[in-house]
Structures are given as structure tokens and as C-alpha cells.
């Protein structure tokens, strides 16, 4: 009986949402629109659906969004086939795998590690920076020292495949954010990226709303392949690679980090949602800023993409050029999709 009542409430809310708009539902029914879709998890890039699945196990058992996201991101960080994140990530031009990660919770707490070496799960170190230090960001040696003091084991993140790719790259030593060396093409084939849409971006940004209606997010990457040693992109920068405002929504990014930092991308997306835009529209607005700054011709040579979720559990995404995919898991099931793109 209770189940049936819940079902009727749900359907009624669904129809009302179409008829009067979600903001008016609360006034009309006294029921929070946030109760409509939750829990939900969304990640950058379709192959991260397996990370979503790990997050889903926690979310669907009434777990906290931040715990779900941390466990979800562990899956990608430990996956040697993802050459943009953690173990198996492509190194910098000195042959070093340096990782960047950040987390942000429903209270606006945040933590980050940048240019960290030898640690399999940077997302967990970022979380401890947030929870156990008076700081928001730790970099390089200091971040490693902190990780080791917290019991993290030092490991070698450079796989034989990534080392081979680096040695290959050294022959021409040309830094290209849209790099198309053979192994990346091979991976794109595996990921069913269409010809002409190759990219070297598989960073995981993950956002979730839990059953309590709380939002959190995290991002983890080994950064742009063959970057300069010491280079940090958008992924561990709060406001650029990730932003969460529990009253409004959350956003995260992937793509050429320098471009995302320059427009403070994820913060823009959240502010656009605050101004009433849907998650997809909000992501598009941030992409438009990148295009405006660069001009269309230069922008066509770049990739940048955002995914977003709002307080109602609605999700959306948008990318600069074609080929950006994302993965979602909701109570209605899991799906992956290619985002709309501007150019
Ligand atoms: C960076 N945004 O370091 C990252 C790269 C990326 O998948 O998204 N890779 O600039």
C-alpha cells in the first residue's frame, strides 16, 4: 500500500513537473523536488561506467555521496588501461607519472593533491588533506610525505605500456594536447571513438547526489600526456576541474586543463545552474566562454567538456568538439551517452 502510494506520488510529481515546472512543485505539494531523482552518479567518459557501478553500490545502500565517489574513483585509478588516470597513466616528458586529484563535499569542504608521485589512490590523499589538515592543497614532495605519513604505500605507477608510449614520444618530442600517437588511436578504437575524434583525455570527474539529497564530487587524473614536469592542470583546482554547491549543484571537467582553468569552468557551470539553467545549458555556457576566448578556429583544435548535476538529480553534459562521452547511474538504471558539442 505504502509502495503504491509512493508510486502515485512519484507519477503525480512527474506529471506536475511537466505541467508547472519543478520549482513550483514544492509549493503545490509540500514535497521536495529533490526527492524525485536520487541517488544519482555521473562521470566523465563512458568507460567510467564501471567506476559508477562501484559508487552505486554505496549510494543505493544509503551511503554518503563522498564515500561512494571515493570508492568509484578507485576503480579507474587502479585500471592500467586508462592512460589518463593513476596506474597506467602516461608520464610527463621526464618519464614521471604525476597525478592530480581533488574532492569537495556537501559542506563546501575541499582538499587536493597536485603533482603527486608513487601513490595509487590520490583521491584518498586529497580527501585526507580535506579532513586532517588545515589546508586545501598539497603539492609534490610535501603531498607525498603527507600520504606516506598517513600509511599510503609507495608504488610504481609507470606501466611497461606507458613507458613504451613515452619512449616513442621522445623520438619527436612534440607536445600536442590533441595527440594522435598509435596507442591512443588503438585505445580510441577500443572505446569506439570515431575517426577524427581522437583525444587523449580520459580523466575521471565524478559527481553524485545521495539518498539524503547531498551532493559531492571528485576528480582524478595523471594530467596531459607528456606535459612539462611540474605542470598541473584543472583537475585538482577547486572551481576549475570541480565545484560543488550543495544548495545548487555540482560540475566537473575534462579536457585541456589550461583552457578550463582560464575560465574557472566548473564554478561557471554551477553559477549558471544557480541562475536557472539546466545542467546541460550550464555546461554549454562554460564551453562558450572557452570558444569566445580562443576564437572558433583555435578552439576546434582543443577539447574541453563538463558534466553537471543539480539539486533535483538532473544531469547534463556538453563538450567543445565531438567525441565526449559520459556515464550515468540512476534508480532507473545505467546508461552512457555522447554529449552534444559546440563545434
Ligand atoms: C588536465 N584536464 O590535466 C586534464 C586532462 C584530462 O583526460 O582531462 N585528461 O588538463
Q: Are residues 57 and 24 in the same domain?
A: no
The size of the chain, in residues, is: 343
256 close to 177: Cβ distance less than 8 angstroms: yes
pLDDT for 172 equals 87
Residue (of 279, 291, 115) closest to 207 by Cα position: 279
* 203 annotated active-site: yes
206 close to 223: Cβ distance less than 8 angstroms: no
Question: Within the chain, which residues score under 50 in pLDDT?
Answer: 1-34, 179-184, 195-199
Q: Are residues 260 and 149 in the same domain?
A: yes
Collapsing DSSP to helix, strand or coil, 99 comes out as: strand
Q: What is the CATH number of the domain that holds 310?
A: 3.60.20.30
CA of 37 to the centre of ligand 1 (A): 29
pLDDT for 185 equals 53
pLDDT for 176 equals 74
CA gap 151, 1 in Å, rounded: 51
Instruction: Answer whether residue 238 is part of any domain.
Output: yes
Q: Are residues 88 and 201 in the same domain?
A: yes
pLDDT for 190 equals 58
Closest-CA residue, ligand 1 atom 3, reads: 223
Q: What is the pLDDT of residues 185-217, one digit of tens each?
A: 555 555 555 543 444 558 999 999 999 999 999
Q: Are residues 22 and 83 in the same domain?
A: no
Q: What is the pLDDT of residues 304-335, one digit of tens each?
A: 999 999 999 999 999 999 989 999 999 999 99
Q: Are residues 10 and 46 in the same domain?
A: no
User: What is the domain range of residue 13?
Assistant: 1-31
Q: Are residues 196 and 236 in the same domain?
A: yes
User: Does the Cβ of 234 fall within 6 Å of ligand 1?
Assistant: yes
Q: Which atom of ligand 1 is nearest to the CA of 223?
A: 3
Q: How many domains does the chain divide into?
A: 2
User: Does the Cβ of 205 fall within 6 Å of ligand 1?
Assistant: no
CA gap 287, 342 in Å, rounded: 8
Q: Are residues 242 and 327 in the same domain?
A: yes
Collapsing DSSP to helix, strand or coil, 335 comes out as: strand
Residue 204 Cα to chain centre, angstroms = 5
pLDDT for 6 equals 39
Class of residue 104 by CB neighbours under 10 A (exposed 0-12, middle 13-18, buried 19+): buried
Instruction: Answer whether residue 343 is part of any domain.
Output: no
pTM value?
Answer: 0.86
pLDDT for 146 equals 98
CA gap 210, 41 in Å, rounded: 8
CA of 257 to the centre of ligand 1 (A): 5
Which of 184, 202, 225, 256, when mutated, tests ligand 1's pocket best, judged by the most ligand atoms within 8 Å of its CB?
256
Instruction: Answer whether residue 121 is part of any domain.
Output: yes
Collapsing DSSP to helix, strand or coil, 229 comes out as: coil
Amino acid at each position: 500500500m505504502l509502495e503504491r502510494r509512493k508510486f502515485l506520488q512519484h507519477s503525480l510529481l512527474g506529471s506536475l513537473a511537466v505541467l508547472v515546472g519543478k520549482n513550483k512543485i514544492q509549493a503545490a505539494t509540500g514535497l521536495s523536488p529533490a526527492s524525485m531523482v536520487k541517488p544519482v552518479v555521473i562521470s566523465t567518459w563512458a568507460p567510467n561506467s564501471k567506476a559508477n557501478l562501484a559508487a552505486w553500490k554505496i549510494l543505493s545502500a544509503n551511503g554518503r555521496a563522498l564515500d561512494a565517489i571515493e570508492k568509484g574513483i578507485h576503480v579507474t585509478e587502479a585500471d592500467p588501461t586508462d592512460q589518463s588516470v593513476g596506474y597506467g597513466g602516461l608520464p610527463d616528458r621526464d618519464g614521471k607519472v604525476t597525478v592530480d586529484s581533488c574532492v569537495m563535499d556537501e559542506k563546501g569542504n575541499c582538499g587536493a593533491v597536485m603533482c603527486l608521485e608513487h601513490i595509487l589512490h590520490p583521491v584518498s590523499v586529497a580527501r585526507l588533506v580535506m579532513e586532517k589538515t588545515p589546508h586545501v592543497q598539497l603539492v609534490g614532495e610535501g603531498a607525498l610525505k603527507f600520504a606516506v605519513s598517513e600509511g599510503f604505500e609507495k608504488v610504481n605507477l609507470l606501466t611497461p605500456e606507458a613507458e613504451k608510449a613515452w619512449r616513442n614520444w621522445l623520438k619527436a618530442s612534440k607536445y600536442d594536447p590533441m595527440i594522435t600517437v598509435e596507442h591512443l588511436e588503438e585505445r580510441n578504437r577500443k572505446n569506439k571513438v570515431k575517426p577524427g575524434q581522437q583525444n587523449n583525455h580520459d580523466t575521471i570527474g565524478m559527481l553524485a547526489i545521495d539518498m539524503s539529497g547531498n551532493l559531492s564530487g571528485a576528480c582524478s587524473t595523471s594530467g596531459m600526456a607528456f606535459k612539462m614536469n611540474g605542470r598541473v592542470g584543472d583537475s585538482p583546482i577547486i572551481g576549475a576541474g570541480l565545484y560543488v554547491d550543495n544548495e545548487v549543484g555540482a560540475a566537473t571537467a575534462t579536457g585541456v586543463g589550461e583552457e578550463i582553468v582560464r575560465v574557472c569552468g566548473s564554478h561557471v557551470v554551477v553559477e549558471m545552474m544557480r541562475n536557472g539553467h539546466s545542467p546541460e545549458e550550464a555546461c554549454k555556457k562554460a564551453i562558450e566562454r572557452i570558444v569566445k576566448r580562443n576564437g572558433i578556429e583555435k578552439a576546434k583544435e582543443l577539447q574541453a567538456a563538463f558534466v553537471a548535476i543539480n539539486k533535483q538529480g538532473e544531469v547534463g553534459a556538453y563538450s567543445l568538439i565531438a567525441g565526449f562521452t559520459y556515464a550515468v547511474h540512476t534508480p532507473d538504471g545505467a546508461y552512457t551517452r555522447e554529449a552534444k558539442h559546440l563545434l
